[in-house]
Amino acid sequence: SSYHIAIIVGSLRKESYNQKLATAIGKLAPSEFLFTHIRIDDLPLYNQDDDENQAPSVVRMKNEISQAEGILFVTPEYNRSIPGVLKNALDHGSRPHDKNVWAGKPAGILGVSTGSAGTAMAQQHLRNVLSYLDVPVLRQPEAYIQLRDGLFDENNTIGERSRPFMQNWMDHYVTWVKTYSP
Ligand code: FNR
């Protein structure tokens, strides 16, 4: 059987390192893991008035999440937290209150930043939100990644020096997802 993983990237930037990481990390997964990038750039700003009449882009995102066996968040850190675009997507998916699409979906969190803290504080904020949304998030290993030469190689895969670390992360993520969908 196959496992559909919804990838959500917290950066909308064309040359985003997190986008690059999201693509590269997928290549370390077994072939039954199928990754789909979920668009969040066309979601309106969340407005509770629209809960009973969600925009088509919101409905689409929620359908994609509901069909996935797992979620992978790959996000930068903005001002020591998660980017607003990611929080906006989380808020949309959480409503209406009894239709929280995130609940129960096993998830992993990755992030790369240019600073040495490697998105650690953003990831802690994200864990806090996901805990409330009833998302079981992989706890270990953690992956706080600083952008360094060689993180990606010329084929846009994970470079040789970072590969054992990232492969170990992916192996744990795969086990985590399978635990929830045997
Ligand atoms: C940043 N950056 C940043 N880095 C960090 O380590 N901690 C932080 O709190 C912040 N804050 C922050 C705020 C804003 C508004 C921007 C635009 C940037 C730097 C960030 O790590 C860098 O721009 C990354 O390249 C962003 O990720 P993407 O877009 O390359 O995926």
How many angstroms separate the Cα of 103 from the Cα of each of 6, 41, 47, 108, 144? 14, 22, 21, 14, 25
pLDDT of 94 reads 98
**Considering only CA atoms, which residue is closest to atom 17 of ligand 1?**
78
Q: Is the peptide bond before 96 cis (omega within 30 degrees of 0)?
A: yes
Alpha carbons 136 and 61: distance in angstroms, whole number = 20
| Residue 18 CB–ligand 1 contact under 6 Å | yes
- For residue 16, the model assigns a pLDDT of 98
Q: What is the strand order of the sheet 107-113 is part of?
A: 33-37, 3-9, 70-74, 107-113, 144-146
- Predicted pLDDT at 181: 86
Residue 170: its pLDDT value, please? Answer: 98
Atom of ligand 1 nearest to the CA of 79: 9
123 alpha carbon – ligand 1 mean position (Å) = 13
Would you state the pLDDT for residue 89? 98
Which residues, in sequence order, are CB contacts of 141 under 8 Å at separation 6+?
168, 169, 172
Q: Whose CA is nearest to atom 18 of ligand 1?
A: 78
Instruction: Give the C-alpha separation, 86 to 107, whole Å.
Output: 15
Nearest atom in ligand 1 to 118's CA: 6
> For position 3, what pLDDT does the model report?
98
C-alpha 50 – ligand 1 centre gap (Å): 31
Structural domains in the chain, sorted by start: 3-180 (3.40.50.360)
Q: Compute, in angstroms, the gap from residue 17 CA to the centroid of ligand 1.
A: 10
Could you tell me the mean pLDDT of each successive run of 10 residues in the chain, 182 residues long? 96 98 97 98 98 97 98 98 98 95 98 96 98 98 95 95 97 98 79
Closest ligand 1 atom number to CA of residue 10: 31
Q: Is 117 in the pocket of ligand 1 (CB under 6 A)?
A: yes
- pLDDT at residue 182 in the model: 72
At residue 97, the pLDDT reads 86
